[in-house]
Amino acid sequence: MYEHLETAENRDSLKRVVVDPVSRVEGHGKVTLLLDGDNKVQQARLHIVEFRGFERFIQGRPYWELPVLVQRLCGICPVSHHLAAAKAIDQLVGIDPENLPVSADKLRRLLHFGQVLQSHALHFFHLSSPDLLFGFESDISKRSVIAVLAEYPDIGVQGVKLRKYGQEVIRMVSGKRVHGTGAIAGGMNKSLTKAERDYLLEDIDQMIAWAEGSVALIKKVHCSNLPFYDEFATLRTNYLGLTKPDGALELYHGGIRAKNEHGETIIDHIDYCKYNDYIHEEVRSWSYMKFPYLLSLGQEKGWYRVGPLARVNNCDYIDTPLAEAARVEFKAHSGEAMVHSTLAFHWTRLIEALHCAESIKQLLGDPDIMGSDLVAQGEKRYEGVGVIEAPRGTLFHHYQVDENDIVTKANLIVSTTSNNMAMNESVRQVAAEYLSGRELTEPLLNNLEVAIRAYDPCLSCATHAVGKMPLQLELVDAEGKLIDKLIKHSDGQIERDNA
Amino acid sequence: MPNPVLLFGYGNLSRGDDALGPLLLEYAEAHCDMDKVEILSDFQLQIEHALDLENRRLVLFVDASVACDNAFDFTVLKPARDKSYTTHAMSPAAVLDVYQSIKKQTPPPCFLLSIKAEKLELGEGLSANAENNLTQACRFAGDLLSNADLDFWLKQADSITPI
């Protein structure tokens, strides 16, 4: 590990390199490197520079507004927030997941599969395929989806159409591509009509074929340079996510499972409503994002990764045939119980996309999605927790309400926050191994971005440690000398330090 | 076949003046003849939106803009490979370029109505100035939709901002 590069000694004497903003990630990510006179990296950090304060945004609102309101936290995965909130407010009306009407449960799953499919398609085809197809240090003009469309037109078009299909699933289930109101407390507000079901069935076989082709493509890319792909930004970590009771891959509802780097179980089948008993969040002075960790392992060893790699590593099998075959092949390639390659996030992401496409087809063939029993109601409660596996990883929504149904407390742990420590470690590893001692060029710096992008971070909804961190702006001259510093303290006070 | 005119407002209703695009759509739905107009709203532009341009006669993108000099600007769009390719939020010109790449043909005539914005913070409402700008932009968009003709739109673009 590269923890020694989190904070350098004699920072003022070091040269500062800022990669700002990190492109092809949502939100505003910034990487700072401190270099000594020989260009050796002494410190590397990933900073999240946008602040959104979304828990405050939620507090004071009536709970029934939440499924719509929380979609506006993030333009990238609104459906994930929508469903996590819906699962939480189900409990506020006294409905546990097992008591949700069957049709509502299946419609929510269909909605979620559509969301994950379109998000994974966007990430691979639009944001990552330029690096993977043209090389991490290729000319910057090539690193875009347009270059992919020009040189690999079939792949480019498939990416656009897979994304579009996922959006159409969302539109059919929730009524709109965005701002939909599909899920409500205790169920869903509409089912699919036969015409809507038939419309989605028209293209699903093509989507499965394309998703299967994308798995073959990423396998070919990964295995074309196996030592590099298995080592680049790679970390031996713990992994956390939901699984079904029988250990199968689960994206919508299950128990929390965490495994260590050797594949040994740390926790399993944990009721996510008790997540606070197992997961804590650490605040560090230099980052807006918190650093979650497994309480039983402590801050130093308890951090973990979430997302496609974690889910495919953690599960015992996948319950759709093509994705399961792909999973078996994926696991076999490394020969270890757990695959630790950071770039394997891409491979697992596409295995999941294939699973989503297969699952959509299964659900479209299930008459329950056209059922009319859509909402259940129980006895009011004052606290609810909703957890789902969003495209980027486990997403926690936790609310408390008062007797007037107003949200008095909200806590959200988004997947990018769970991957915060891992992203920083990956950045430090790449900085140490690929950049240290070399003259920095844009293609070299892209290696850092490649490492971050593998996690598909959604930084805009990951920053919510309100008031926990001072803002600091530093001006450093060419000799590395600090010339000016502006500090905004947590209480809003501004201080200037002219060094 | 889709409706010949696409009115596409994008932005986040809960991020202050970023709501200007979607709010203009609400005005249009309430006050304009929408027989030949299809409404589309999203948080931001993405690659798949290129497919929404298919078989349109005219497309009007509506967005909030802090860079706007006037209460609103109205411009003709051309396909362009700008830096927005590298983000989750593409520019309308980049979406047109994706269309061109996928369809191997020139996109339909597309225009951008930018409405001047000031504040884009989560949880805030419209600023007073943005509200005023929206009123003016809605009136202007109403004229466009009731005269959904390329020559008329081009003249309007000429008269407001040089192409």
Q: Do A74 and A209 fall into the same domain?
A: yes
Averaged over A405-427, what is the pLDDT?
Answer: 90
Averaged over B124-150, what is the pLDDT?
Answer: 95
Rg (CA), chain B: 15
CATH of the domain at B29: 3.40.50.1450
> Which alpha helices (DSSP H) does chain B contain, by range?
20-31, 92-103, 128-146, 150-160
- The residue of chain B nearest to residue A458, with distances taken between CA atoms, is B88
**Shortest CB distance from B13 goes to which of A72, A127, A176?**
A72
Residue A494 in any domain: the answer is: no
Q: Of the residues A339, A355, A387, which one is the last residue of a structural domain?
A: A339
Q: Do A168 and A266 fall into the same domain?
A: no
Find tokens 């605040």 and name the residue. A283
Q: Measuring CA to CA, which residue among A85, A349, A69, A383 is closest to residue A217? A: A349
**Shortest CB distance from A54 goes to which of B48, B88, B122?**
B122
Name the phi and psi angles at A137, rounded to 5.
Answer: -110, 20
Confirm if B84 and B130 have CB atoms less than 8 A apart: no
Residues from chain B that touch A150, judged by Cβ atoms under 8 A, are 101
Are B42 and A23 inside 8 Å of each other by CB?
no
Averaged over A257-280, what is the pLDDT?
Answer: 97
Are B86 and A144 inside 8 Å of each other by CB?
yes
Q: Do A262 and A335 fall into the same domain?
A: yes
Q: What mean pLDDT, rounded, does chain B reach?
A: 89
Q: Do A22 and A141 fall into the same domain?
A: no
HSE at residue A57, side-chain half, CA atoms within 13 A, is 25
Number of domains in chain A: 3
Asked if residue A487 has pLDDT above 50, the reply is no
Confirm if B143 and B28 have CB atoms less than 8 A apart: no
Interface residue A76 vs chain B (CB under 8 A):
yes
Q: Which residues pair with B58 in a beta bridge?
A: B5
Tell me what pLDDT residue A329 has: 97
Residues from chain A that touch B43, judged by Cβ atoms under 8 A, are 72, 75-76, 78, 178
Q: Do A292 and A333 fall into the same domain?
A: yes
Angstrom distance (rounded) from CA A395 to CA A377: 25
Tell me what pLDDT residue B162 has: 40
Q: Do A127 and A183 fall into the same domain?
A: yes
Range of the domain at A285: 236-339
How far away is chain B from the Cα of A89, in angstroms, using its nearest Cα? 21
Q: Do A213 and A249 fall into the same domain?
A: no
Q: Which residues pair with B61 in a beta bridge?
A: B8, B112
Give the pLDDT band of residue A18 (cuts 50, 70, 90).
Answer: low
Give the pLDDT band of residue A17 (cuts 50, 70, 90).
Answer: low
Q: What is the DSSP string of B22-37?
A: HHHHHHHHHHS--TTE
Number of domains in chain B: 1
Q: Do A242 and A311 fall into the same domain?
A: yes
Q: Of the residues A339, A355, A384, which one is the last residue of a structural domain?
A: A339
Q: Do A269 and A405 fall into the same domain?
A: no
How far away is chain B from the Cα of A324, in angstroms, using its nearest Cα? 29
Q: Do A30 and A103 fall into the same domain?
A: no
Mind listing the pLDDT tens digit for each residue in A431-478?
Answer: 888 877 776 676 777 788 788 888 877 654 433 333 333 334 444 444
Paired tokens of B129: 């100035």
Q: Which residues pair with B45 in a beta bridge?
A: B90
What pTM value is reported for the model? 0.85
- The residue of chain A nearest to residue B47, with distances taken between CA atoms, is A160
Residue A317 in any domain: the answer is: yes
Q: Which long-range contacts (CB under 8 A, 24 or more apart) does A482-488 make?
A: A482/A12
CA distances from A232 to A47, A430, B77 (A): 21, 7, 41
Mind listing the pLDDT tens digit for each residue in A70-85?
Answer: 888 777 788 999 999 9
Q: Do A249 and A301 fall into the same domain?
A: yes
Tell me what pLDDT residue A12 has: 62
Q: Of the residues A360, A383, A418, which one is the last residue of a structural domain?
A: A418
Q: Do A87 and A170 fall into the same domain?
A: yes
Range of the domain at B117: 5-160
Mind listing the pLDDT tens digit for each residue in A351-383?
Answer: 999 999 999 999 999 999 999 999 999 999 999
